[in-house]
Amino acid sequence: MSDAMVAAPASDAQSGGTQRVDVAVVGAGFAGLYLLHHLRKAGFTVVALEEGNDVGGTWHWNRYPGARCDIQTIDYSYSFDPELERAWTWSEKYATQPEILRYLGFVADRYELRRDIRFGTKVKTATWDEATLRWVLTTDSGASVSCRYYIMATGCLSAPKPPEIDGVKEFKGEVYFTGRWPHQEVKFAGKRVAVIGTGSSGIQSIPLIAEQAVHLTVFQRTPNFALPAHNGPVPADRKTLLDNDRAGYREQARWSLAGVPYPQQTTVSWQLNDAERRERFEQAWAIGDLVYILSQLWADQGSDVDGNALVAELIREKIRAIVKDPDTAAALSPHDHPFGAKRPCLDTNYYATYNRPNVTLVNLRQEPIKAITASGVTTDKRSFDLDVIVFATGFDAMTGAMIAVHPITGRAGKALSSVWADGPQTYLGLTVAGFPNLFMITGPGSPSVLSNMTVSIEQHVDWVVDRLIAMREAGFTTIEATETAQAGWARHMADCSMLTLHRLANTWYTGANVPGKALGVMPYTGGVGPYRSICNEVVSRGMLGFKLTGPNVAGQCNDGEIVRLQPDVRLVLNMMADMKLPPIETLGAQGARYFINEFNKARPAGRPVGEVVDSTLPGNDGLLPYRLYRPATPGPHPIVVYFHGGGWVLGDQQSDDPFCRDLCRRTGMIFVSIGYRHAPEHRFPAAAEDGYAATRWIGEHAAELGGMSGYVLVGGWSAGANLAAVTCQLTRDRGGPHIAGQLLVCPVTDCAFDRPSYNDNGTAYFLTRGLMYWFWDLYCSPADRTDPRVSPLRGKLGGLPPAFVVTCEFDPLRDEGIAYADALAKAGVPVEQLQARGHFHSSFTMVDVVRTGASGRAKMAEALRRFAGMPKQAEQSDEVTHRDWGVSPPQFNAAAK
């Protein structure tokens, strides 16, 4: 049966001035229309309340000249009904606002949606009634509404923000706001026009207004990055992809990062030379697709300031090439934010417009607006006489439409505006604790504006309606997020905000465009696909984080946090789970080594350092290979003797190469990664004795290696950290060399397997209990296991070098690492601990994969520098904070930490 043929039950009749329905929806844009259709199809009675006089939402209000979508229209469409998809053909790559509005009208007609929409109706108040367990909505026209469920489909960019400039009312000419454009044509011919604001709305309208106006003055406070749309017919390649496998294409979009089916890039910027990077950039520039240029150049473009700066400079080069006047080009070139951290724009002739003789750019950074007067705009340098002012000054985004449009009062009389006074708190961006039966579509805390909105809207609507159906079947009538779940989501949001550069710009994403608004990254930065999988997981784990009640059923509350892992750790573990790999210990030593080598080939290459030298040194029983990493700075440098991980069985200099490079760059120290002998070919104490021998040799030859003499430092990960810890004990007992400090990352310290972390984290986090048993069996017979050369926790700990001990929450080795740090401290050794929340055993060595490990590695580097008596190092590009960009840090997410 076609979706269009579904007979929809009419909303309940009005009685006594109140309309009773199962569900009230606010808004009749993309989200509201699909909600209405889906809810009716599921048998719920529904009313949609819409302030405008027709459907369209944002596309109803934003009808300024040049308004178009900036996601290719074949992607910016509903996908819930294949017949609808077949019934509509877009005429352009980026449809105009009138065409999108026609599409939404077509959808409304096709499913007969208008009969359940009350147009011209604004919700004035929304109050949760504890007695009836229903929401009561009062409106500015017609009956109030009593509903079981109340769903805000109000859009993220629908509350225009005031221009915040004195004197707007004094102006005698015409005034327009892009976000509230009149329905009748606005004529600019023969007029002196000003546009204030250069976001997407300004950048789309400026070229068209310039073609008509006698003179156009653009008042720009912050330049924005704009890219040519190259609009035209729908590109053949994308259309063919869609036509060949429509369902597959849509499904790929649903699981992608931004809601458009592009693959994830794995090549990092430093693996490409200038010419290769330029070629990729030129191709992206020619394609004219925002998601493409934001995601397909190189893997680090959206996550690392250095990788990002390369793109930003290539765009500035384009601006300089297009705009003839160098001063104007300079003023149009953004320098205050990473590319993509502020929403970039798609344009048609934007930069070239400034070559027209009738266009003037006023740089408000050099001459701020003092006031708007009766005749025009006055800056602190000059006055502009004007006939028309167009405000393209943006929106109180994400939260504005929800809290400014009407007071929403939840449990115990609490208003949403006061609950959100310090920033929006939500669970999944869908619900708010204390506000039962209230849902938001694409609310703050969901991918929303960082994604193709139609994909995100459909996901939210499907999730919400499916929940309502499931509740109805189970007899539940209320649903409410728990405080625990909501706090956990805030933490997860804060963790995710470290994956991208959005935190580094003053934008409407962070609330910085509205004076006094709480600052924090409001949309979910973890990606559309991962977010979808989290929402699904909430359901599969018994509605985790929700309280459900019903009149005739026992209440249910499966409380907890849905994501306790760091977001990138979750992705890595899910990816490994999807690969359905056999347990490593079943592969045999050779097979496991081969597997690890192959697996490592897929990761980003380590970053460049000054020099890398492969050589050999004498071990305890023959030559050992080593790899030396030298910083690019002039030496001599302190030397860190480094031991790779791999359970004394696996790993080599290559396996820990990115980690060594990273620490070499951060510390400014030489790292010498030792190829010690492995089990089962060489069992205990071969690795331990090699570690000691290598350290002694390096200590004796430090100057020849270009290092500082008199001391070395040691470090290692996992079994390598075991060797580092053992080496410190052996050098203390055997007369040197002097070790200035030890870095132990997830160390093996003891042969007992009964600490809680061995059970809690024994099976699901890559390093399993079974794998550890196998490592132990291959390396060390039971009779030797209490020897401090393999269980350093059982050794004498006094007089050891200062230590920095890193443990990860989801690591079987967590508790023995903590036990070692505690025991060192008890023995009088200066110890610092980093207990890394949400991380797993491999987090810190998966450099440029687990990006949330960057701050931990920065702390390790600082510790090593302190041990060596060196001053604090400048921040690396992956730990840049807001202050480096001159903006304030996000506050409400940080508060959740």
Q: Which residues bind ligand N01 (CB under 6 A)?
A: 68-70, 157, 163-165, 178, 196-202, 204, 219, 221-222, 343, 364, 392-395, 449, 508, 513
Please say which residue, 163 or 488, places its beta carbon nearer to ligand N01.
Answer: 163
Helix, strand, coil percentages (3-state) for the chain, rounded to 5, are 35, 20, 45
Q: How far is the CB of 351 from ligand N01 (least distance, A)?
A: 15
Q: Which is nearer to ligand N01, 121 or 204 (CB)?
A: 204
Q: Are 716 and 723 in contact (CB under 8 A)?
A: yes
**Which one, 456 or 667, has the nearer CB to ligand N01?**
456
Q: Which residues of 356-371 are buried (b: 16+ CB within 10 A; e: fewer)?
A: eeebebbbbeeeebee
Q: What is the DSSP letter of 171?
A: -
Pick 207 or 838: Cβ nearer ligand N01: 207
- Please, what is the minimum distance in Å from the beta carbon of residue 343 to ligand N01? 3
CB of 346 to ligand N01, least distance (A): 6
Closest separation in Å from C-beta 102 to ligand N01: 16
- Nearest residue to ligand N01, by Cβ distance, number only: 199
* Residue 198 Cβ vs ligand N01, minimum distance, rounded to whole Å: 4
DSSP letters of 1-57? --GGGPPPPPPPPEETTEEEEEEEEE--SHHHHHHHHHHHHTT--EEEE-SSSSS-T
**Between 45 and 96, CB nearer to ligand N01:** 96
Q: What per-residue string of b and e applies to 527-537 under the rule 16 or more CB within 10 Å gives b?
A: bbbbbbebbee
> CA 430 to CA 441: how far, in whole Å?
6
To ligand N01, the closest distance from the beta carbon of 652 in angstroms equals 48
134/161 with CB nearer ligand N01: 161
Instruction: Supply the minimum distance, in Å, between the C-beta of residue 552 and ligand N01.
Output: 46
Name the strand (E) or helix (H) holding 809.
Answer: strand 803-810
Distance CA 667, CA 669 (A): 5
| Alpha helix ranges (H) inside 223-273 | 236-244, 246-254
Please, what is the minimum distance in Å from the beta carbon of residue 512 to ligand N01?
Answer: 8
Sort 819 into a burial class: Cβ within 10 Å, 0-12 / 13-18 / 19+.
Answer: middle
DSSP-derived secondary structure letter, 577: H
Question: Which residue, 180 or 738, has its beta carbon nearer to ligand N01?
Answer: 180
CA distance 114 to 106: 11
How would you list the strands of the sheet with 369-372, edge to edge? 369-372, 376-379, 383-385
Nearer to ligand N01, 395 or 885 (CB): 395
What distance in Å separates the CA atoms of residue 726 and residue 700, rounded to the nearest whole number?
A: 19
Indicate the residue among 356 and 370 with the shorter CB distance to ligand N01.
370
CA atoms within 13 A on the CB side of 555: 9
- Shortest CB 293 distance to ligand N01, Å: 15
Residue 394 or 488 having the CB closest to ligand N01: 394
Least CB distance from residue 93 to ligand N01, whole Å? Answer: 12
Smallest gap, in angstroms, from Cβ of residue 453 to ligand N01? 9
Interatomic CA distance for residues 595 and 636, integer angstroms: 38
Closer residue to ligand N01 (CB): 68 or 857: 68
Task: Quote the radius of gyration of the chain (alpha carbons, Å).
Answer: 31
Q: How far is the CB of 519 from ligand N01 (least distance, A)?
A: 14
By C-alpha distance, which of 121, 43, 36 is closest to 80? 36
CB of 687 to ligand N01, least distance (A): 56
Characterize 703-731 residue by residue with b for buried, 16 or more Cβ atoms within 10 angstroms of its Cβ, and e for exposed. Answer: eebbbbeebbbbbbbbbbbbbbbbbbbbb
For residue 239, the minimal CB distance to ligand N01 (Å) is: 20
Nearest to 778 by CA among 587, 576, 580, 582: 587
Nearer to ligand N01, 30 or 395 (CB): 395
Which H or E element spans position 139? strand 134-139
DSSP 387: S
Q: What is the DSSP letter of 365?
A: T
Taking alpha carbons only, the member of 615, 600, 702, 712 closest to residue 659 is 600
CB of 257 or CB of 849, closer to ligand N01: 257
By beta-carbon proximity to ligand N01, the closer residue of 160 and 307 is: 160
Q: Parallel, antiparallel, or unpaired for β 383-385 and 376-379?
A: antiparallel
What minimum distance in Å lies between the beta carbon of 625 and ligand N01?
Answer: 53
Distance between CA 693 and CA 699 in Å, rounded?
10
Backbone CA torsion sign across 642, 648, 652, 657 = negative
Q: What is the CB neighbour count within 10 angstroms for residue 526?
A: 24
Q: Looking at beta carbons only, is 153 or 687 nearer to ligand N01?
A: 153
Residue (224 or 842) nearer to ligand N01, CB: 224
Cβ closer to ligand N01: 146 or 451? 451
**Residue for token digits 């793109």?**
311
Tell me which residue of 845, 882, 842, 850 sits closest to 860, measured CA to CA: 845
Contact 671, 640 (CB under 8 A): yes
The answer for residues whose C-beta is within 8 angstroms of residue 714's C-beta and 6 or more apart is 640, 641, 642, 643, 695, 724, 727, 728, 739, 741, 742, 743, 801
Q: CB of residue 224 vs ligand N01: minimum separation in angstroms?
A: 6
Q: Which is nearer to ligand N01, 180 or 796 (CB)?
A: 180
Tell me the closest approach of the beta carbon of residue 367 to ligand N01, in angstroms: 12
Dihedral sign of CA atoms 353, 355, 358, 359 in order: positive
Containing 145, the helix (H) or strand (E) segment is strand 144-152
Minimum gap (Å) between residue 85 Cβ and ligand N01: 21
Task: Dig out the tokens for 471 from the structure.
Answer: 């509740």
